[in-house]
């Protein structure tokens, strides 16, 4: 492609409003989600799960199930040919339990049959004899990882001290598309697994290890993903379907039901936190002490990394002279917890932001002023000792947020009954309704931390199709709904000045792209696509009808180091991203009902790559933060989930979700391609504490736990104390 | 009748829902199942012109009745204006909720000439979306309304 000065730029570059390429199939129903796949001769797989939170397995009898007409395979731990355990970092989770089950819903037996009904029938005929064991929960969990941080003078005191204890309930990702996939036995004795996941290569490694296949024989292909939010980072049905397909010689499909999905993936860690903040009388933070306890549930999953984040971000985006943080994650017989949007930063943000408000009240200072006065900025050090090198516009975001207009105050005289908290269910005239406003800010790391080199790979090929150049972008990066396929094409167009760009389906036939998590994919795989395009561009003169040009590139972020196990010091994070939220809420203080009226946000995104998708990430992330604030919790009793359905586990509907007022800041990040920054997670961090701050403001109640329940708003008891 | 064509489904079990029949027996997987309990609206279809959760309707109940699924909404390659508005407004992320939301919006536009914001929200309240926070879904409905009144 010879460049000429007068050439017009191709459309659909970065920064432009580009519509997603899968939009049409998604609105017509033609888009194939993993649960929509089918093949000739396909069998169905079903999982038999433990009904107990903790039990010894005395015996497993599959004879009756196996004898059923139409059953193709009934497998136990004895049928796992390779490694009998899996896990992303620690391989501690049995593919199928043998001696013990450690959480309710743990897989014990898998069944394949010619159709789903037969498979379910067979599963019901599997006899497992359990001997129940004591259930370990919160109070007696085994420490999996403890992350201490000792920053500054440890023997400090302060003029003004506030303390409080806070709790966060267990949240579910509640992606709408259930866990599903189709495993197809291949002629080479291997397997082609089409699956909805967040990270193909980490699945591939685990499937290969447990099936005993080589990596080459274990080919994973991304199938349509119906949302992820961290819940697909761990393996669910991948190994099971592969084992069943290999044993039965048939394509085997597995689709979890909604109930099963609550058992089939990890959740957000519930947290118990004790905080103490010390400040000078004029509002300078002197120290923060925090004890953070996360319940990791039965297996490790990504708990070690989540607890590291909880420690690293424990004080919020503030400058503080001294910090004494002890963050611990334990193993219990509760459901395993792991990755969910915000990853450890969410839990502590609820506490540190409540503390900042308490401190402001104790000092008689405006809460936003107090935050601005202590705002972290470029050139400061985090409590881990790491220098903040990139942008840290904490004060600016708060100033901008505060300057945004407030919605009209209709709390006292709503024009429509439906505008009352609780809507038509509210039988009052609104006489008990009070309005509150709350602010919060949060931050987190972008990309994996603590020495993990989570590189991404991209292969870019340019060929001539009917005389016109076409670009094919091939990566293993998972599109989960966020719009990565749009963005990767925009990057290729920008770099190559070629309009016709096709992003191929992600699979393991190209190198790893790392996980679609940690808000990293546009940065990392986007960066790899850019590098590959640059290499291709340098060779475009070779392009001819007979000859394509292809290059593969890897993008690595700067190296990081693990936190010191004693002091918690170290340059452990790649980059940071920030977002501030303001919530306005009406509370019916007599009925305990809530209506969030508006959420406003200022978020720094580095650089907008696609405005409509960027906004979509922010709005959707805020909805999940609102959910945690007022309704979402997996309720547990002695390790058992009591609300494994969308009837009992509520997520926000369009009636719960208010208008979002957006203010998007673009401060180029010097380390990232194009100056972009991660966008997906920051909206889910401070939105929760902002909503709760508004509820406190309206109700006058301390509210130390999320989700806030109606009864919390009508009683004035609270576990928060002040000294 | 499904999407204007008479269809005979083989192997339908007595216990099959309309959703199961559509997806598994009639090769129409456009309608989604995210809860199979009537909570999410992903499985919405028209049954004789009335929007229903197909997971709550027995397959046998649809026998002899007219079903319109998301697959039948477009006119060949010409998208329904609601479908186009969803794309243009950025109301589609993962898309799992989309078939249901598109039909709910389509139903609203068929019933209302000029719905208020609250009426739009009420019409969509039976459809869960986990990705978008609904803002752009509302934008899509408003866009479809604005285009219609042009
Ligand atoms: S699948 Fe029918 S309402 Fe959820
Ligand atoms: S777009 Fe994913 S659930 Fe709505």
User: What sections of A165-321 are H helices per DSSP?
Assistant: 200-211, 238-248, 258-264, 303-312
Question: For A27, which of B94, B98, B128 is closest by C-beta distance?
Answer: B98
* Domains B18-73 and B81-149 equal at CATH topology level: no
* CA–CA separation, A195 and A203 (whole Å): 10
* CA–CA separation, B143 and A122 (whole Å): 50
pLDDT score of A428: 85
With a cut of 90, say whether residue A325 has pLDDT above it: yes
Average pLDDT over residues A683-688: 98
Q: Is B17 on the interface with A (CB under 8 A)?
A: no
If phi over 0 gives left and psi between -120 and 50 gives alpha, with beta otherwise, what is residue A417?
A: alpha
Distances (CA, A) of A4 to A36, A68, A437, A491, A493: 47, 72, 56, 21, 17
pLDDT tens profile A465-490 = 999 999 999 999 999 999 999 999 99
Contact B90 A19 (CB under 8 A): yes
Beta-carbon contacts below 8 Å between A and B: 176
Q: Which residues of A touch B131 (CB under 8 A)?
A: 227, 481-482, 616, 620
Q: Name every protein residue with a CB atom under 6 angstroms from any ligand 2 atom.
A: A 176, 227, 481; B 93-97, 129-132
Q: What angle do CA A236, A242, A248 make, to 5 degrees?
A: 135
CA dihedral A478, A481, A483, A486 (to 10 degrees): 80
- Class of domain A34-134+174-264 (CATH, top level): alpha beta
* CA–CA separation, B146 and B150 (whole Å): 6
pLDDT score of A425: 81
Q: Which residues contact B27 (CB under 8 A, 6 or more apart)?
A: none
How many other C-beta atoms can be found within 10 angstroms of the C-beta atom of residue A8?
Answer: 6
A 13-52 residues with CB below 8 A of B? 19-20, 22-24, 26-33, 35-36
Best A176, A626, A629 member to test B by mutation, with max B CBs in 10 Å, is A176
pLDDT band at A30 (very low <50, low <70, confident <90, very high): very high
Residue A369 host element (H or E): helix A367-373
Contact A176 B29 (CB under 8 A): no
pLDDT band at A418 (very low <50, low <70, confident <90, very high): confident
pLDDT tens profile A557-610 = 999 999 999 999 999 999 999 999 999 999 999 999 999 999 999 999 999 999
Contact A623 B93 (CB under 8 A): no
Contact A621 B133 (CB under 8 A): yes
Contact A616 B132 (CB under 8 A): yes
With a cut of 60, say whether residue A67 has pLDDT above it: yes
Q: Is B90 on the interface with A (CB under 8 A)?
A: yes
pLDDT band at A6 (very low <50, low <70, confident <90, very high): low
Q: Is B146 on the interface with A (CB under 8 A)?
A: no
Alpha-carbon gap: B59 to the closest alpha carbon of chain A (Å): 16
Q: Which residues of B touch A229 (CB under 8 A)?
A: 130
pLDDT score of A414: 59
Residue in chain A closest to B139 (alpha carbons) equals A659
**CATH for B18-73 (3.40.50.280, 2.40.160.20, 3.40.630.10, 3.10.20.30):** 3.10.20.30
Q: What is the CATH number of domain A23-31+455-556?
A: 3.30.365.10
B42 Cβ inside 6 Å of ligand 1: yes
Q: Is A646 on the interface with B (CB under 8 A)?
A: yes
Report how far ligand 1's centroid is from the alpha carbon of A611 (Å): 31
pLDDT score of B51: 98
pLDDT band at A419 (very low <50, low <70, confident <90, very high): confident
* CA–CA separation, B129 and A198 (whole Å): 19
CA dihedral A525, A528, A530, A535 (to 10 degrees): -160
Least confident of A308-322, A420-434, A661-675, B104-118: A420-434
Residue A440 host element (H or E): strand A433-446
pLDDT tens profile A499-514 = 999 999 999 999 999 9
Structural domain boundaries of chain B? 18-73, 81-149
pLDDT tens profile A71-105 = 999 999 999 999 999 999 899 999 999 999 999 99
* Domains A23-31+455-556 and A148-152+267-448+565-713 equal at CATH topology level: yes
* CA–CA separation, A584 and A626 (whole Å): 12
Indicate the pairing of strand A468-474 with strand A636-637.
unpaired
Report how far ligand 1's centroid is from the alpha carbon of B52 (Å): 10
Question: For A27, which of B35, B83, B93 is closest by C-beta distance?
Answer: B83
Q: Is B137 on the interface with A (CB under 8 A)?
A: yes
pLDDT score of A720: 43
Indicate the pairing of strand A180-185 with strand A252-255.
antiparallel
pLDDT tens profile A227-264 = 999 999 999 999 999 999 999 999 999 999 999 999 99
Q: Which residues of A touch B30 (CB under 8 A)?
A: 28-30
Contact A174 B99 (CB under 8 A): no
Average pLDDT over residues A447-461: 97
pLDDT, tens digit only, all 150 positions of chain B? 999 999 999 999 999 999 999 999 999 999 999 999 999 999 999 999 999 999 999 999 999 999 999 999 999 999 999 999 999 999 999 999 999 999 999 999 999 999 999 999 999 999 999 999 999 999 999 999 999 988
Mean per-residue pLDDT of chain A: 96
Percent of chain A with pLDDT over 70: 97
- Class of domain B81-149 (CATH, top level): mainly alpha
CB A190 within 8 A of CB A213: yes
Pocket test of ligand 1: the residue of B22, B30, B36, B124 to mutate, having most ligand atoms within 8 Å of its CB, is B36
pLDDT score of A429: 83
* CA–CA separation, A395 and A377 (whole Å): 8
With a cut of 90, say whether residue A2 has pLDDT above it: no
Q: Which residues contact A268 (CB under 8 A, 6 or more apart)?
A: A168, A170, A171, A172, A173, A230, A337, A340, A342, A346, A347, A628
pLDDT score of A413: 60
Report how far ligand 1's centroid is from the alpha carbon of A626 (Å): 23
Alpha-carbon gap: B107 to the closest alpha carbon of chain A (Å): 15
Percent of chain A with pLDDT over 90: 94
If phi over 0 gives left and psi between -120 and 50 gives alpha, with beta otherwise, what is residue A26?
A: alpha
Alpha-carbon gap: B80 to the closest alpha carbon of chain A (Å): 9
Q: How many angstroms separate the first and last alpha carbons of chain B?
A: 34
Q: Which residues of A touch B68 (CB under 8 A)?
A: none
Q: Which residues contact A15 (CB under 8 A, 6 or more apart)?
A: A607, A608, A609, A610, A611
DSSP A404-426: SPPPP--SSS-SSGGGSTTGGG-
With a cut of 60, say whether residue A716 has pLDDT above it: no
Structural domain boundaries of chain A? 23-31+455-556, 34-134+174-264, 148-152+267-448+565-713
Distances (CA, A) of A35 to A254, A343, A485, B67: 8, 27, 20, 22
Q: Is 0.95 surpassed by the pTM of this model?
A: yes
Q: Is B54 on the interface with A (CB under 8 A)?
A: no
Contact A620 B131 (CB under 8 A): yes
Pocket test of ligand 1: the residue of B35, B104, B124 to mutate, having most ligand atoms within 8 Å of its CB, is B35
Best A654, A664, A680, A687 member to test B by mutation, with max B CBs in 10 Å, is A654
Long-range contacts of range B136-139, CB-CB < 8 Å, 24 or more positions apart? Answer: B136/A612, B136/A615, B136/A616, B136/A619, B136/B89, B136/B90, B136/B91, B137/A654, B137/B86, B137/B89, B137/B91, B137/B101, B137/B105, B138/A654, B139/B89, B139/B90, B139/B91
Average pLDDT over residues A315-321: 98
Which ligand has its closest atom nearest to the C-alpha of A225?
Answer: 2
Q: Is B115 on the interface with A (CB under 8 A)?
A: no
Architecture of the structural domain at A148-152+267-448+565-713: 2-Layer Sandwich (3.30)
Instruction: Give me the interface pTM, i.e. the ipTM.
Output: 0.99
Helix, strand and coil content of chain A, in percent to the nearest 5, comes to 25, 30, 45
B31 Cβ inside 6 Å of ligand 1: no
pLDDT tens profile A123-157 = 999 999 999 999 999 889 999 999 999 999 999 99
B91 Cβ inside 6 Å of ligand 1: no
Alpha-carbon gap: B31 to the closest alpha carbon of chain A (Å): 7
B71 Cβ inside 6 Å of ligand 1: no
């Amino acid at each position: 492609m010879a460049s000429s000065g007068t050439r017009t730029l191709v459309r659909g570059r970065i920064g432009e409003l580009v519509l997603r390429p899968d939009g049409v199939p998604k609105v017509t129903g033609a888009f194939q989600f993993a649960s929509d796949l089918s093949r000739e001769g396909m069998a169905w797989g079903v999982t038999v799960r433990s009904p107990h939170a903790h039990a010894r397995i005395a015996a497993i009898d599959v004879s009756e199930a196996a004898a059923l007409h139409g059953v193709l395979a009934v497998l136990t731990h004895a049928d796992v040919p390779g490694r009998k355990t899996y896990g992303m970092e620690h391989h501690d989770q049995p593919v199928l339990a043998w001696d013990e089950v450690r959480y309710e819903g743990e897989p014990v037996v898998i069944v394949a049959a010619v159709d789903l009904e037969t498979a379910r029938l067979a599963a019901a005929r599997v006899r497992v004899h359990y001997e129940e064991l004591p259930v370990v929960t919160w109070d007696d969990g085994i420490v999996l990882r403890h992350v201490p941080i000792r920053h500054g003078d440890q023997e400090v005191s302060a003029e003004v001290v506030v303390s409080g204890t806070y709790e966060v309930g267990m949240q579910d990702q509640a992606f709408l598309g259930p866990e599903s996939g189709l495993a197809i036995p291949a002629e080479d004795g291997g397997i082609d697994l089409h699956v909805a996941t967040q990270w193909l290569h980490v699945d591939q490694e685990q499937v290969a290890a447990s099936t005993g296949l080589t990596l080459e024989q274990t080919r994973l292909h991304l199938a349509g993903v119906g949302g992820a939010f961290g819940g697909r980072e761990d393996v669910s049905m991948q190994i099971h379907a592969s084992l069943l397909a290999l044993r039965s010689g048939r394509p085997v499909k597995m689709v979890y039901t909604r109930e099963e999905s609550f058992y089939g993936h990890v959740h957000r860690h519930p947290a118990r936190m004790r905080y103490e903040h010390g400040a000078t009388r004029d509002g300078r933070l002197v120290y923060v002490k925090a004890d953070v306890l996360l319940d990791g549930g039965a297996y490790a999953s990504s708990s070690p990394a989540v607890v590291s984040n909880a420690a690293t971000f424990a004080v919020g985006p503030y400058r503080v002279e001294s910090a004494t943080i002890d963050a611990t994650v334990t193993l219990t017989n509760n459901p395993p917890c792991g990755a969910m949007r915000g990853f450890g930063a969410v839990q502590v943000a609820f506490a540190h932001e409540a503390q900042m408000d308490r401190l402001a009240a104790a000092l008689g200072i405006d809460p936003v002023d107090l935050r601005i006065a202590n705002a972290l900025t470029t050139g400061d050090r985090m409590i881990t000792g790491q220098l903040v090198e990139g942008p840290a516009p904490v004060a600016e975001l708060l100033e901008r947020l505060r300057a945004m207009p407030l919605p009209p105050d209709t709390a006292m005289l709503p024009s429509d009954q439906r505008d009352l908290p609780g809507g038509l269910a509210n039988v009052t005239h609104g006489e008990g309704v009070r309005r509150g406003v709350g602010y919060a800010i949060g931050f987190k790391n972008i990309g994996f931390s603590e020495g993990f080199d989570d590189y991404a790979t991209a292969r870019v090929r340019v060929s001539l199709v009917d005389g016109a150049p076409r670009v094919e972008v091939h990566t293993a990066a998972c599109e989960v709904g966020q719009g990565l396929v749009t963005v990767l094409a925009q990057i290729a167009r920008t770099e190559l000045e070629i309009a016709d760009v096709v992003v191929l389906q992600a699979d393991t036939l190209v190198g790893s792209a790392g996980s679609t998590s940690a808000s990293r994919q546009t940065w990392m795989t986007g960066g790899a696509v850019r590098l590959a395009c640059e290499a291709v561009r340098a060779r475009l003169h070779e392009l001819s009808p007979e000859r394509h040009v292809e290059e593969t590139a890897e993008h690595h972020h700067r190296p990081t180091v693990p936190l010191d196990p004693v002091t918690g010091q170290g340059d452990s994070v790649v980059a940071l991203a920030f977002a501030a939220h303001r919530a306005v809420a009406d509370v019916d203080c007599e009925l305990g009902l809530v209506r969030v009226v508006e959420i406003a946000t200022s978020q720094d995104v580095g650089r907008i790559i696609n405005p409509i998708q960027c906004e979509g990430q922010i709005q959707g992330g805020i909805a999940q933060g609102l959910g945690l604030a007022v309704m979402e919790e997996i309720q547990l009793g002695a390790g058992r989930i009591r609300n494994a359905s969308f009837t009992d586990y509520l997520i926000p509907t369009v009636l719960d979700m208010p208008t979002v007022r957006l203010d998007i800041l673009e401060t180029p990040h010097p380390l990232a391609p194009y100056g972009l920054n991660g966008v997906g997670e920051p909206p889910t961090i401070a939105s929760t504490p902002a909503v709760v701050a508004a509820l406190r403001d309206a109700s006058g109640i301390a509210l130390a736990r999320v989700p806030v329940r109606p009864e919390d708003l009508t009683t004035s008891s609270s576990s928060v104390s002040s000294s | 009748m499904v999407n204007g064509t008479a269809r005979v489904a083989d192997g339908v079990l007595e216990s099959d829902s309309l959703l199961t029949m559509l997806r598994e027996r009639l090769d129409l997987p456009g309608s989604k199942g995210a809860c199979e309990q009537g909570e999410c609206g992903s499985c919405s279809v028209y049954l004789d012109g009335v929007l229903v959760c197909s997971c709550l309707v027995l397959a046998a109940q649809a026998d002899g009745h007219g079903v319109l699924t998301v697959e039948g909404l477009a006119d060949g390659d010409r998208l329904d204006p609601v479908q186009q508005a969803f794309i243009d407004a950025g109301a589609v992320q993962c898309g799992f909720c989309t078939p249901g939301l598109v039909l709910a919006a389509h139903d609203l536009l068929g019933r209302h000439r000029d719905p208020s914001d609250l009426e739009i929200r009420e019409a969509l309240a039976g459809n869960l979306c986990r990705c978008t926070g609904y803002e752009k879904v509302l934008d899509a409905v408003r866009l479809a309304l604005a285009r219609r009144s042009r």
